[in-house]
Chains A and B, each alone.
Chain A
């Protein structure tokens, strides 16, 4: 069964304190892994797509990496405005349906 698990569920950081979020996935024939940022009460905002193991993508203080079993979202020197829930998702086997993890809620304190 296709499955996505994110850890930790919640993460509190001080401003400038770097850390990583984890996304473990099980799917037959990976057709991409997506990272989204979601602010409270709003729709997910697309961040990255990763397609193959070893691939990396960066955007400002965020860097996403991919292995055959998991993906990491590294946050370098975070700022309070990086506080949000970060979701990862994979397309289910042979469909356009996205399977989401439950998300990691990040709080960055000044």
Chain B
């Protein structure tokens, strides 16, 4: 049984560019949540998707947007990248509001 997968593993972008990160949930899960984790900090909630709709959103600007597909996979898009967007981006999947299982993360570096 494959767990949560994310791609790419690492990404380097320059300020002002746009980036798309991808996530495939654990088999049987229907909900995907995205988190941003800065070095030395706990993960910060970005948003959650369920039934292809954004169900909950954290304190992140509109530059952060997402999508969930019919097969429950999800994308996170970030526009107009800033240096401060450099972080580990984590995807977690769950069955509804149940236990969240995390993927390996995507390390984004903005230069």
Contact = CB atoms under 8 A, between A and B. Distances in A.
Interface in B82-106: 88, 90, 92, 94, 96-97, 99-105
Secondary structure call for the B interface:
strand
Contacts of B45: 92, 97-99
Interface string B51-79: 00001101000000000000000000000
B97 A98 contact: no
A100 B58 CA distance: 13
Interface of B: 4, 6, 31, 33, 35, 40-45, 48, 50, 55-56, 58, 88, 90, 92, 94, 96-97, 99-105, 107
Interface of A: 4, 31-32, 34, 36, 41-46, 49, 87, 89, 91-92, 95-103
